[in-house]
Every structure is written in C-alpha cells, then in structure tokens.
Chains A and B, each alone.
Chain A
Amino acid sequence: MDLFQDFSRQQTRRGLLGTSAQGLGTAALASLLNPMTPGRAAATEPTRGQSDLPHFTPRAKRVVYLLQNGAPSHVDLFDYKPMLKEWHGKQIPDEIAGGKRFSTMTGGQTLRPVLSEITRFAQHGESGAWVSDFMPATAGIADDLCFIKSMYTESVNHAPAITFFLTGSEMPGRPSLGAWLTYGLGDSSRNLPSFVAMTSRDKEASCGQIFYDFYWGSGFLPSKYQGVKFRGSGEPVLYLANPAGMSRERRRGILDDLARMNELQYAATGDPEITTRIAQYEMAYKMQMSVPELTDFSNEPAHVLERYGPDVHRQGSYAYNCLMARRLLEQDVRFVQLMHAGWDQHRNLNTQLKIQCEDTDAPSAALVRDLKERGLLDDTLVIWGGEFGRTPFLQGKIEETETWGRDHHPYTFSIWMCGGGIKPGISHGASDDFGFSAVENKVHVHDFQATILHLLGIDHERFTYRFQGRRFRLTDIYGQVVKDILR
C-alpha cells in the first residue's frame, strides 16, 4: 500500500469535513447522535493536522519510544571496548578525558580509574552485533535492530537531558515530540488519543527521578496536543469510569440528549465550537470503552504473555506498559512514549544494572517481536535509549566493588532503533577505544530528532510553529537526517 496516497486521501477527507463542519446542517448533526451511523466516526476527528503535511511519503505511521531514564551504561551493554579490560584500574589517559565537564558528583574526583565492563559481550545474529549477556532477549532480535553507537548530547543532568531529547531544548516550555506530531499530522486514532505516555520504574525505586508532565507536554502549542498520561495505578485515564449508579446505557441516553440539546444550541447561536464539543463528548464515551479493553489482557495468548515476562500482569510495570504500547499501536495511536526510571548506577552498578536489564530486556524484545509478527513493524518505529551514557571510568573506589558506579556521560552513548524505515541489522557510528567520545558518524540529539521527523514524512526545517514572534522547530536551528540508517 502506498502510504503517501493513503495520507493524502485522509487529508482530503478531513479537508472536506473541515469545510462542511462550519455549515453542518441538522441532518448531518442528527447522524452524530446515533453511534451506529457511519458518519459519526468522521466527526470524531476534530484535530486536523497542518495542510502541507506530510512533506513527503512517510516510512513510519507510528512511533514507540522506550525511554530508559537515568542513562544506561553503554560500555556495559552495547558498546564493547576490550581496551577497558586492559586498562582496568589505571587512570584514564588525559588525552581521552582531559578538560571534559562532569556532573558535580565526579567533577571533583581526581582519580578516574578505567572500569572494565562488568558484563560479558558476545556477537549475535547474522549481523554479528555485540550485545552483553545482561540483554539476552535483545541479543535475540539483533538482526532487526540498528544500533547507533555514536550518540552524543549537551547536558549532564537527567531532567535537562531528557527534556532535550523530547523537546529539543534543555529548559521546559517547548512541545514534546509527540505533541509536535499530533499538531502536524492530526489525530491518528478513532477511539484513543494520538499521543500516550506511560511511566514505570525499578521495583526498588533506586533513584529518585520524577517524571515531569512536561515530558509529554505541549509547551507553547495548544494543550489539546499534549500527551495523555496513562497512569500506573488505578484508572489508566483520570476520571475514565462512570460514577457508581451510572451504567453505560444510562450514560448513552444522557449523552444522546445532551447532543440533542447542544444541537439546538448550535442552531440558535451558530458557534461551530459546539459541534466540536459534541464530537469530543462522543470521543470520551468511546475512550470509556476502548481504554478498559486495552487493559484487558485476557485475550492475549499465553505464549505472547510469556514473552513479556511475569511482570506483564502488574499494572505500572515496564512489561505491562510494553504490552499496552503494542495494543495502543494496534489501535493507531501514533506516538507512545514509554519511560522507565532506574538506570542511574552511580554506586550500585554491580547489583542494580542486572536488575534493570532483567526488568526491561525481555519486554522490549517482546514488543519488537509482537509488532513484527503482526506486520506492524514495517511502519512502526521503535526507539530504545537513555538521555546520555555513563563514564567508562569509575565513580567510587576501585577496591570497593560493592559500590562501583559510573557517572553521567554525554560524550558518547548507544541507542537502538528498528522498524518504520530503519535499516535492520546494522551498527552506525563508533566511539573511541575507551567508549569515551563519539568519533565516527557522530549523531547529535537534533540529528536523531530530524531523522524521526523524516521517517514520519516531515522535513524538520519546514515544520515550524510561531510563538512569541519566532518560528520554533523541534530541532531548534540544527539537525541533519541520518541518511545512513534509512532503508
């Protein structure tokens, strides 16, 4: 199927509806009142995208971003550096680390002994990708993945670095990627929001990072573009359930008459905002049905559930969220932002890194396998990565293995992407022999963002929003599409 044509058709249909909505007659409105009337669904697409989008044929329709908060250690997981073992315990050479800025936690530390990887690396698949033994499931799908081993960023602290990845700026206040996409491309799902965020953390809550709601915020864009946070406990969406004593049938009856009354009001005042409101109440009603269906895993085959691991049944876990992500993507939710905290191994590398991997490895891989089996991986972009990497040298004392750790490290780190227009089974870019600095085919955060937009059919330089007298872009004034990783 030609995705571009598909998009264009949709645009035209939306365009028609958009024009006619202003003069929407009573007949058309009447059809809104009955949920069985086919015309109804069309009216529940109130958010249209920008008329000039997409700029070209998109390769991906959906995105799932598995954001590993806290920064996973690239040298222990994907970026294999035999040099570390050779240099273990010796001061990292000045020509590698001299003059670089670190967080206040090791900024004052003068001893910077190289720390060998604490895991075992092996090559996997036909592509021969190096993956550590902490990530067996990921190793199993290595031939589907594209590793980028030369990512680098600007910030050394968590919140600014995450904000930078998601909004293109370290300071809160700009729209996040998902919000940009809804603004640009319009609503994608009939029954669900287009942009959904979910969060989880390690069971021990070993790090205290907060998930700020501006991570999925709309910044200066209207708030309707912000991500809907599916919560990790209780109702997934706030105020989703009908109150006690208000059955779905009763609600239906009330909504029908509410729409009837609002229709009269529209006839009396001519304010088209009223027709949008009628549609939004319908969407709310649909979400009341579709969201609980999403969380009902009883129709998932046992072998699928097994892939995600036992945590899949625990609401708020990473495994649960991964399966939810697949179910959301199946419903054409365009952007699923899944965040997992706990990767911040300053003093507990030897204990906590394994736990982090156990919590996330199988579910991440299961999600990719599931998407592939359902034919969704072709047009779904999957991204796995943290906000920066970790130092190849030690934070702590070399003789105290219990408290070995690695500090924040922005100069190089590794992420992987797959599906939706990404070349499978490759590794892009490289860091130096110590895994300290990206040296070959460096990929900046803005390049990464430009590439994502590109896969969705958007030229990042032409996709702007005017605010406070300036045209803003996700990529600020930088960014180049990483062509080498595109199919």
Chain B
Amino acid sequence: MRTMHAPGSRTVRLLVCLIFGWGFSQPVATARAEEAAATTRVDFDRDIRPILSENCFLCHGPSASSRAVDLRLDTQAGLFEIRGETAVVQPGKPDSSELIRRIQATDTDELMPPPDSKLKLTQQQIILLRNWVEAGAPWSGHWAFTNPVAPEIPDRELTSSNPIDVLVRKELLARNLRPAPPASREELLRRVKFDLTGLPPTIEELDQFLADDSPGAYEALVDRFLASPHYGERMAWTWLDVARYADTNGYQGDRERTMWPWRDWVIRAYNENLPYDQFTIKQLAGDLLPQASRDDLLATGFCRNHMINGEGGRIAEENRVEYVFDQTETMGTVWLGLTLTCSRCHDHKYDPLTQREYYQFFDFFNQTPVNGAGGDPRMPPNLEVPSPAQEQQLANFSEQIQQARNKIKAREQQLNSELESWLAAKKNELLPSSKWVPLVPQTARAEHQTLTIQPGHAVLVGGPNPDQDRYEIEAIPDATPDQASLTIASLRLDALRHATMTAGGLARSDSGNFVLTEIRVEAVSPDGTARPVDIVSAQATHEQGNLKITNAFDADPRSGWAVLQGKFVDRDHAAVFRFREPVAWTPGMRFRIHLNFESPHRHHNLGYFLLSVSADRDAPLDEAALPLLQALRTPAESRTQDQLQLLQQRQRQDDPLHRQVTGELAELEKSRNALKQQVPVVMIMRDQDQRRATYLLEKGLYNKPGAEARASLPDWLPAASTALSERPNRLDLARWLVDPHNPLTARVSVNRVWQMFFGTGLVKTAEDFGSQGTKPTHPALLDWLAVQFVNSGWDMKQLHKVIVMSETYRQTARVSPELYENDPENIWLARGPRSRLPSWMIRDQALAVSGLLVPELGGPPVNPYQPEGIWAEATFGKIKYVQDHGDKLYRRTLYTFWRRIVGPTMLFDNSPRQTCSVLDYRTNTPLHALVTLNDITYVEAARVLAARVLREQTDTQSRLELAMRLVTSRRPSPEEFRILEGRLQQLQHDYAAHPEEAEAVLQIGEYRDPAPLDRTDHAAWTGLCTLLLNLDEAISH
C-alpha cells in the first residue's frame, strides 16, 4: 500500500463502499465513452468527469462524511494532488499516475473502484482515462456552473438561417445526417397550433393557410397564435405541473382550497408576455417588492401550492418544516435545475452543494408565519381575491353600509336628545313589564370582604380577595304604597358583571366565574325572630356541567352552582329560587339572605349582584326585565353607563324609524358577508417581522437541530451583480436567480421550453443540471438560446417564436427505418418532433372539434364527467363527487377541479401534482384506450361531432373529409376513405337493424341536439367519429 493508502484505510474504504455501494446493471457513461474514444479530442467535462462522477465521487467526492482516505477527485486540486512521491494524476504520464495504475490493478486489494462496490470501469473508459492523461490531462469546471457564452455564428450563415438551424446542422453534418424536408402545411399547422394554444386547427385556419402562398404566411400564423388568449392557457398547464398546483390540500381530509386566482394570474402573465425575470421575481418574492400590488402578492401563491397535511396526530412543526423543504426544493428544481433534496440530510454526493448551503436556501423560505397545525386550506398569510364584479359589489356594499350607519347614527342622536321626555311618557307603560320587585338591601356584610350597597340596590363586593367567603344581606321589598302587603313566592339573584372583576366578569377569580355553594333565606319578623324559608326548586340562566343550581340549596357546603361557558365569563347570569310556602310579608319584616362561596376553587366569590322577589311562584327567569326596571328606578344623575345604554336601547326598539334603518343595515351586512364567503382566498407569502432562526437539521428531522444557518447563496456559483441586503430575503434570492451572471436559470428555463416543443430537452434530465445529469446534446445551441433569452429581456413569446420559426421545428416527422435505428430518440433532430398529445389536449380537442368547447377564460374550477363514486371510494364516502352540468361540462381541461388524492380520472398520464414536476410523463398503456373509447366525454363528443358533420355536409365523401380534417387536419387518402366508408356502411346496417341500440348511443351525455337527426345515421356516424377521435394521428401532433 503506497501513499494513497494510509494504514488501516482499507477498512474505511470497504465500509464506505459497503454503505454506499450501489449495484447497477449498465455503466451509464459507456455509450458516451465509446463515442469519445473514437474521436481524438478528449473533453474533460464531457468525457472524463462523468466517468469519475459515476464511479468515484461516492467515496472521493464532495461529501466530506463519506470521503475515503481524504482524497477527492471532484476538484482540480484533489485530482492533481501529489502525495509524497506519487501524483494522483500526472499530466502526460499515465504510468506515473496513481489513478491510472489503480484502475488497471490486477490485485483486487488495489483495484479501483473496489470490486465489492459492484462498480466496474469498461475497457473503453480505461482507455479514455489513459488518453486524457496522455494528452496532458486538461481540466475544466462543470459546464453548467460556468456562464453560457453565445457561440460565434458566421454572418453569411445567419443571413439565410435561424441560428437554431445553423447549430443543429453543424451537429447533423458531424454525423453524416441531413435535415428532413419541411412538414406538409397541414402537419405544420397542427403541430404549431397545439404547441402554442393546445387546440386543434379549425377548418378555416386550414383553408386559409393552405391557400396562402405568401412568404410571411407562417409567421403571421405564429403571431396570431402567440396573441391568442388560449396561448396563456396552454403555457399555464405546463407551469401548473411545475408549480404542483391543485384545488385541494392532499393527504387525509384533502380539504378544498381556492388557489385558482393564482392560476388565472399565470394565464394572464403568459398572455401579457410578462418577462421571465419578472415572472420569477413576482412568484418567489412579489410580496417583498416595493409597493407590492395585489397581483404581486397573488403571484407568490406559487410558493404555497405545496400539499398541506391535516392528519390528526401530526406535529405542527414537522409539517411546517416539510412545507419549507418543498418550497426550497421546488425553487432548486425549477430555476437551478439542481436536485437539492439529498442535502436535507447530508452534503450532496455528486454536486458541490453542502448541507449547510441547503439550509441557507431553506432560511429564505423559513420566514413566513405559516402554522403547520390543522391543515387550514386558507392558512395565513393569505389574500382575498375578489373578481372585478365581486369587487364592485363589495364596494357598493361598503358604501351602502356606511350610509345606513350614518342614518342610524343621526337617528340615535335625535333619540338621545329625546330620552328624558320619552321616559317621562313611557315610564308607567314600561314598569309593569316585570313581575320582579327589587329587594332593597338594608345591611350587607361578609366575613372577609367589604360589601357596598349601590344606587339601584345592587351590592358590590370589594376589599381583600379571600379564597372563600360568606355574605349576609338584610333587605326589604321595594314596595310601592299600594302594595303595602305582599305574598312572596320566589327570590331572584342577578349576578352582574362589573369592571372591577376579572376581565370585567362576575368575580375576582381567574376566570371571572363564581361558585355559589349555599343560599339560605330567612324571614325576620319585626321582633327579630327569624324563620327559615325553604327553597324547593330553582332555575338558572346557565349551569356549568355538574355545577347545577340545585347544588346551591342541597345542604352540602362543598357543592355549588357556577356559570362558566367559555374561557371567561362574558355575560350576566341569574337564578330564581322558588319557595315551598309563600311568605306573607308585612311592613317591618325583613329578609335575611345568606350567600356562601366555599368551593375548593379559589376566589370564586360573586362580586356584584342584585336581589329581587316576586309574588308569582312561576315568575319567569326574565333576564332583561329586571335590569331595565332598575334603570328606570335610578335617577338620571345616578345612572350607570350600562343603565343609560339599556334605556336608550329600549327607546330605540320603540322607534319605528330606528327599527327600519337597523333592519336595512342588517340585511346589507348579511348580503355582504354571503358575498365575502364566495370570494376566493389565496395563500400567499409574507415574512414575519421576527426572524425565525434556521438550523441544519440532522437527517432532515425537524426536532434534531444542529448549527444555525442564515440565508445566503452558495459560493461555488457566481455571486449576484448587486450586493445582497443586510438581512437577505426571498427578493434577493429571486433577483440572484435571474441575474445575468447566474449560469443556470436561463439554461434550465430554455431547456424546459425546448422540451415542450421537441419532447426532450437539449439536456435530457431537465430536473438535473448537476454532474450526474446528462450533458447537453447541443451545448452551443443551449447556450445561444440562453444568452439570447436573457438579452431579449427574458421575452418568453420571442423565445417560443424563434423556436417555432426554425426550420428544425418545421421539418417533417416522417422517419425512415434506417434513421430511426440510428437515432430513435431524435436526439440529433434530423426530423421534426412527433409525440402523442398530453391527455388534457386530447380532451380539449374532442370538445373543440365537436363544437362543445366553452372557451371562456379563468374562474373557479369545474367538475366535468367522472365515474360515479370516484371520490367516495378513496375517502370512505366522506367526500362525494358532484358533477356539474351545462357549460361547465365543456370548459377546457385546465379548469377541471384537481383533487390531489384522486386526480381527474380522464388524465391518464399527467404529473400527479403532488410535488414539483418538470418531466414529461407521457406513456402508452391500455388504460388510455379505455378512456378515449368509453368515457362519456369522448362518446358525447363523437356524437356531437357526428351531428356537426351530418349538418354541415350532405354526401358521405364530403362528410368523411370534413370529419377527418377536423380531427387530423388533413384529408383522407383513397385507401383510408375506403376503410372509413366501409365501416360507416356496416355501422349503418347494424344500427338500422337495432334501432334501440342506436337510440342508446344517442342518449349518452347531457348535451341535447337542437334538432334530432336520422337516428341510424347519427348513431353510425357517432361510432365512426369514435374511431376517428382514437386515431393515432388524432391524438398525436
């Protein structure tokens, strides 16, 4: 073991290899290596780094914790390190390079990669590495982390060609390939219209374009599509996949949210051609822009589209951390094309991203006041986003409500000035409204506290605040002269709130609650003899659980009556105690009332109360009457504020005009609140004032914080042109992403656009531009696109236009077996792109060609046809799918309600919209066929398309031609015509013999034909249109 192997390191290496030793079936870099070995010039970044990354970086790469013998091959310094006598790589001298010696070692103890890692270099790779060292071992950094430089393109080539074509042809030439001829006009129109608007060409568009020989015909068409409002819808779809947009939270419960105004913002942004740098800044940090507009706030909904977990038993902080992970990693994938996820737990194994840098990114997003608990689908920070109509209505309401309030105020001022005269006039009428007569306290005392008799006969408790107390009050009824003698059958205790009690409640206890443990009543004769008065029943305004009113006279000194309803007592209470025998009261007699507060709960002593009596044993517990009576009896100058308000209230109730205006106000407020309920609330971003500290989380666990990390940017990427703020925030991050010096954002973005038009990106791994991602097939083209995108001011429409204007895009997709074998994935672009339409476009096409499509833009999501029970089965019947009717069945698929746990069933291979997704999900399985053959949507579209064809043309030939043109954009060949006509005739015969079956076909779907057609014909044509809508050509472009 020489210098590279410190004693004992074998164990380390073995261990490391065991832990991270992946088995794998085929060396991924082989093909590339073979290719490079064949050519003379070895390019380090293209040919050598992938071999090292694949086979060596796990143990000799960026991750310090898994690094063996402290050797790293991912840096220039490490690769050319000299240890003692031995160089890892000695330029020009493969035989003196330890790396070369070790990969060729025959001793399995020396061989690298170690056999137990299950990694093995191919012969070609070994030759390639040798050649590279021999050629002087030129080194360069990872391509994607250096700035793109637009390639030089000779002027003479540019005068006649789109730079895209110049750069694509260069690669074709190098491989002895030739570009394909241009696509037919039909093929091209179909391709470009779907790509730019997601909709099929109309017959008029086809006719016009086929007839227009002018050189600018195609460009005019492209400009028209770019200007179409449907352009924004088409582009929005892809962005919604990226943004993991859905109409529910996901997870158990899967509550519904209203993020769709954000979706409409995206459509508008594309249609208005918002530059991509602004598009980026607004969505990541619109809230932090100076004078942020409502749209700027709305745009940040992007960050809040993540799933929300409302499952019981989940820990709030764990959830919140998950959300921030999602936001951080979405940013990483969408703008940087980097897979940050690995670094949640440890330094990245292949890219230079450390765990610390991950949490530095994380810290940018970690500053919102979002609460992880509960799964509220409107979890603040949020924003109400009324539609313009709603906004107008709300403004109208505000104005009307203000007017109503003014009217009320004016009326009340008027009434206030008339209060005394009103009272004078009404007093007698008001007085008999109560059967209760106040007991006027003569003496009132307690064992510990001070009792004061108040004007209006209430008793206020003050002084020390003992744990328990006993009160004794002697009082006489407030009898008017004509009631000189009375029969008294019941006693009433009003517990009143007072400002000196806890939180303005009923007592000086922690909750403002009291516990009356015992009440005793005595009738005291003028001679002083006291006779107990038995209480047999009682009634209270409220009883707190087991603390019933009957406990107050059960002779158990511990049990009692209490009234707590919520956290604090915030209302008055009362109880009525009914006597066994009525007491005949004559002047000179007194009542002595004992009130005991001896519960184990401390300080639960009633603080302010009023006693009264009634002759009626069944006198109701009329809560309002007594205080009013009190107020009426109190002289104006002694009235409390409460009493004044009470009288005013009574006066207002008595006033028809006041009643009318308050009624109006209530109606207005009710309507406004109902409207507000309909206003969507979008979750947005806003940072809290107090900075939340971010820590490196061990293994990504929320409860295992390590060292602190603060928002900043990785230093292995170019810094921002302008310095970060003192306390860097998301706005700094967003600006850095779209800084002209950022080497990734523009490349990553144009690559996704390329993928949208060509099916595959120039970098196939659109999600990974790191060292494990694939290298660009056309690096010069990628850089040219990136540079021109930035130089154009991040003009999205221009980028889309330059691509669709290229001859590369306009080639025919037809492919010969030889070419296909040579380049099955169309990497070198010697033919035009051809792919199956995404499933949402297939549905939109069916709606469009049949004429069912309702092309309205934006608005709340809709529920078109889906199989019965589709939500109920997944949610144990808790959520049921309620299908819409009428126009809502025929909106573009973009507006279909997206329930995360059961995505729309008609979309067979879309991104599941759970996390950020930038890849194309298209597949080819039997389940797709079942959808487009059997789903009501498609059967109905076939029926309505059939009706359209039958109406618009009269003979079979023209009808077949029209139908074929509608779904494939071209006319049928004679052979195709024969097949279709044959099938049509068979279906006609068949349905003629089975009219009930024809009728059955024609009943599918809710759309009703305005004027019924011949049933046999219509059914047969429906069958034929089903065939046409399922043609490979119909579902491809």
Contact = CB atoms under 8 A, between A and B. Distances in A.
Contact of B23 (A22, A245, A461): A461
A265 B905 CA distance: 28
Interface residues of A, number: 83
Contact of B1032 (A257, A262, A462): A262
A261 interface: yes
B342 A470 contact: yes
28 contacts: A23-B817, A157-B314, A159-B311, A208-B876, A209-B252, A213-B902, A224-B923, A233-B873, A237-B930, A238-B930, A245-B997, A257-B983, A258-B1030, A261-B976, A261-B1031, A270-B817, A272-B820, A277-B924, A277-B1032, A280-B924, A284-B929, A284-B933, A462-B24, A469-B350, A469-B768, A469-B773, A470-B349, A471-B24
A250 B987 contact: yes
A258 B1027 contact: yes
B901 A213 contact: yes
Nearest to B915: A173
B1032 A239 contact: no
Interface in B872-925: 873-877, 901-902, 905, 908-909, 912, 914-915, 921, 923-925
A483 interface: no
A463 interface: yes
B22 A243 contact: no
A280 B875 CA distance: 31
A243 B934 contact: yes
B815 A461 contact: no
Contact of B930 (A157, A239, A276, A473): A239
Interface string B925-960: 111111101111001000000000000000000000
Interface string A84-107: 000000000000000000011100
A46 interface: yes
Nearest to A472: B22
A210 B22 contact: no
Interface stretch (B622-630, B682-690, B999-1007): B999-1007
Contact of B876 (A23, A157, A205, A287): A205
Contacts of A251: 933
A42 interface: no
Contact of A241 (B912, B927, B934, B986): B934
A262 B909 CA distance: 21
B701 to A, nearest CB: 11
Contacts of A74: none
Contacts of B868: 234
A235 B867 contact: yes
A128 interface: no
A450 B392 CA distance: 64
Q: Nearest 9 A-B pairs (CB), nearest first? A: A469-B772, A245-B1001, A462-B23, A245-B1000, A461-B23, A284-B929, A283-B926, A284-B926, A244-B1000
Contacts of A109: none
A173 B333 CA distance: 15
B820 A52 contact: no
Interface of A: 22-23, 46, 50, 52, 103-105, 157, 159, 172-173, 193, 201, 205, 208-214, 217, 222-224, 228, 231-235, 237-247, 250-251, 253-254, 257-258, 260-262, 264-266, 268-274, 276-277, 280-281, 283-284, 287-288, 459-464, 466, 468-471, 473, 477
B21 A210 contact: no
B901 A212 contact: yes
A257 B1031 CA distance: 10
B1001 A246 contact: yes
**Chain B contact residues: helix, strand, loop or mixed:** loop
Contacts of B1033: 262, 265
A210 B875 contact: yes
Contacts of A211: 874
Contacts of A473: 22-23
Interface string B967-1002: 000000101100110110011001000000111111
Contacts of A217: 912
B28 interface: yes
B330 interface: no
Contacts of A104: 313, 315
Contacts of A52: 25-26
Given A242-B934, A284-B929, A264 B973 contact: yes
Most chain B CB inside 10 Å of its own CB: which residue of A104, A228, A233, A274: A274
Contacts of B875: 210
Contact of A462 (B118, B339, B771, B939): B118
B821 A22 contact: yes
B815 A269 contact: yes
A239 B1023 contact: no
B980 A157 contact: no
A338 B874 CA distance: 15
B345 to A, nearest CB: 12
A261 B964 CA distance: 12
A368 B1023 CA distance: 46
Nearest to A241: B934
Given A240-B934, A273-B836, A469-B772, A222 B923 contact: yes
Nearest to A266: B1032
A470 B1031 CA distance: 38
Contacts of B939: 243, 246
Contacts of A231: 869, 873
B934 A228 contact: no
Given A272-B824, A473-B22, 16 more contacts: A50-B25, A224-B923, A232-B873, A234-B868, A234-B869, A243-B1004, A245-B998, A262-B1032, A269-B813, A274-B1032, A284-B930, A287-B926, A469-B339, A469-B770, A469-B773, A477-B19
A273 B814 CA distance: 13
Interface string B546-576: 0000000000000000000000000000000
Contact of B986 (A232, A253, A262, A461): A253
A466 B29 CA distance: 12
B834 interface: yes
A271 B313 contact: no
Nearest to B341: A468
B923 A223 contact: yes
A477 B20 contact: yes
A459 B23 CA distance: 9
B931 A239 contact: yes
A290 to B, nearest CB: 11
A20 to B, nearest CB: 11
A197 to B, nearest CB: 12
Contacts of B915: 173
A273 B924 contact: yes
B767 interface: yes
Nearest to B868: A234
A269 B814 CA distance: 4
Contacts of B975: 264
B767 to A, nearest CB: 6
Contacts of B869: 231, 233-234
B726 to A, nearest CB: 35
Most chain B CB inside 10 Å of its own CB: which residue of A105, A262, A269, A288: A269
